[in-house]
Amino acid sequence: GISEQMRNKIGDRCRKACIEIGYRGAGTFEFLYENGEFYFIEMNTRIQVEHPVSEMITGVDLVKEQLRIAAGQPLSIDQSQIQIRGHAIECRINAEDPNSFIPSPGKIEMFHPPGGLGVRWDSHIYAGYTVPPYYDSMIGKLITYGESRDEAIARMRHALDELVVDGIKTNIPLQQRIMADENFYAGGTNIHYLEKKLGLS
């Protein structure tokens, strides 16, 4: 993982960059971290798909704060009030074949969302909903929180087992395999992890 000192260093660079360019609103800086060094990749000037992870570990409603900024209001908090607590993991649930990644549009015959302590499900789908072939294949986001990484992973495993989306193919089986993988569980996987896991490299 990344040390608290390194996280603070990266955060400070991002804060200074936002001040320098006069940036207002939600945005995400992306970095590659390898061998103790971090390298800037890009900045996305929008709310990220993964924003629930940040919300769960900080308790800050990022969409609410973004709306405040858009309305010309100040943020309701400042940086010194943000405390990172615990761990969160997000799995994007896609309507696609878990082996070939080919989109799988069609009608959802059965649907049951997961629930419980530390579990968040963001989606628009329901039993009877037809997934169209024209858009991105993501049909939901499953996010779990835990006081430790192990607890967040354990909750994700249970939540994935509880999630039912029948009638179309989804990547739920792939997400389950990843959560059960010893290398993922141990942490420290690199950018080639998934390629190796799927036998693509």
User: Which residues are catalytically annotated?
Assistant: 46
Are residues 97 and 70 in contact, defined by beta-carbon separation less than 8 angstroms?
no
Q: How far apart are CA 170 and CA 112, in angstroms?
A: 14
Residue 132 corresponds to which amino acid? P
Q: How far apart are CA 111 and CA 60, in angstroms?
A: 30
Q: How far apart are CA 137 and CA 174, in angstroms?
A: 15
Tokens of 48: 């990220």
